[in-house]
Amino acid sequence: MVSNPAMPMPLTSNLGDRIVKEPQTIEEKAKQIAVDKYDITGAHIKVPAYFIVNYPNGETKALHHVRDAKKISDVIRQMHLEEESGTIALSEHKSNLNGLVVVLSLSLILLSLMTATIIIGVF
């Protein structure tokens, strides 16, 4: 296919991938849906056209799911790093440790009861 500057850009098959040329507010962008379909399994898939990101400095941006995909990935990666280094990860670790102690103590009690039963049965 030969590129011709007079030809308009080809339209995408997905209407949600199109970016409107007129300026829009963040609220208008937040309402746009890129995908609203059912997949082959019957699950309902709904994908926003813009992801609204609130930065720590108070700035709010609407990132388009195709054009700004790299920025969206960076934001998600940063959220994971903050979650891992924050108190959330520590509290989850403590609760897992408490559960481990309970499971081990119940296992020891069960093992001692089984051993006592076997010893009584032998004598």
Question: Does the pLDDT of residue 9 top 80, yes or no?
Answer: no
Percent of the chain with pLDDT over 90: 7
Residues 80-107 pLDDT 10s: 888 777 645 445 555 567 777 888 888 9
Radius of gyration of the chain (CA): 28
97 or 114: which leads in pLDDT: 114
Each domain of the chain, given as residue ranges in start order, spans: 11-85, 93-123
What tokens were used for 115?
A: 């051993």
Residue 56 and residue 41: Cα distance in Å, rounded? 39
Question: Does the pLDDT of residue 10 top 60, yes or no?
Answer: no
Question: Does the pLDDT of residue 122 top 90, yes or no?
Answer: no
Q: Specify the pLDDT at position 1.
A: 43
